[in-house]
Amino acid sequence: MRIALINENSQAAKNELILTSLKNVVEPMGHTVDNYGMYTAADEAQLTYVQVGILGAILLGPLAGSILGAVFGICSLISNTIAPTLLSFAFSPFMSTTGLIGALKAFWISVGCRVLIGLIAGLVWKLFMAFRMKDLIALPIVGFIGSMVNTVAVMGSIYFLLAAEYAAAKNVGVTAVFGLVMGTVTASGIPEAIAAAVLVTVIGKALLAVFRRLGKG
């Protein structure tokens, strides 16, 4: 079996350590490891957990993509609990300022929204494959959609569920929250989605070729 190693940017500096450890475990079993990066934290192409989740959904299906998204969400929850920031109340139930209801909202934003990345990306990919769409058309579309799902779901949930708390954290009126949310979607979400479209296409094309040679795609 061939195993693909893909690191997102927060773990890029550990790529060599992870690769060596993985090889030590699986190569004696007759498996091989293909390292697709990130190789170092200074790599020009920066992979995020969103793009890794999308790639997982494309290669392994919506369920696997959803599980990857949940893992990333839980990591985000832990990070926001251990090293809280101004907006950690939206990503960690333990940092809620509105009790149990706020905690449930934070869990949805941190974990639920991340599950949607892999779920929707995987379902859209399956739909495209059912219509026999070419990979070079399907991959960038799925990459773009998957990334936008993350941005829209997270920022949309903050707007609809935690607008008052978000306004207080930003020291603005509640009526200004919509503009701030849309600003984030436009200024950050769209460029990130374009980057995801490019990276998912380049890496996904290579990984799909391997999977298909192995009869798994």
Q: What is the pLDDT of residues 161-208, one digit of tens each?
A: 999 999 999 999 999 999 999 999 999 999 999 999 999 999 999 889
Quote the tokens at residue 146.
């998957």
CATH number at residue 135: 1.10.1760.20
**Which residues are CB-neighbours of 197 under 8 A, at least 6 positions away?**
139, 140, 141, 143, 144, 147
Please tell me whether residues 181 and 111 are part of one structural domain.
yes
Euclidean distance between CA atoms 47 and 162, whole angstroms: 29
Please tell me whether residues 147 and 112 are part of one structural domain.
yes
Please tell me whether residues 179 and 134 are part of one structural domain.
yes
pTM for the predicted model, two decimal places: 0.86
Nearest alpha-carbon partner for 145 in 206, 208, 190 = 190
Domain containing residue 119: 53-213
Domain count, the chain: 2
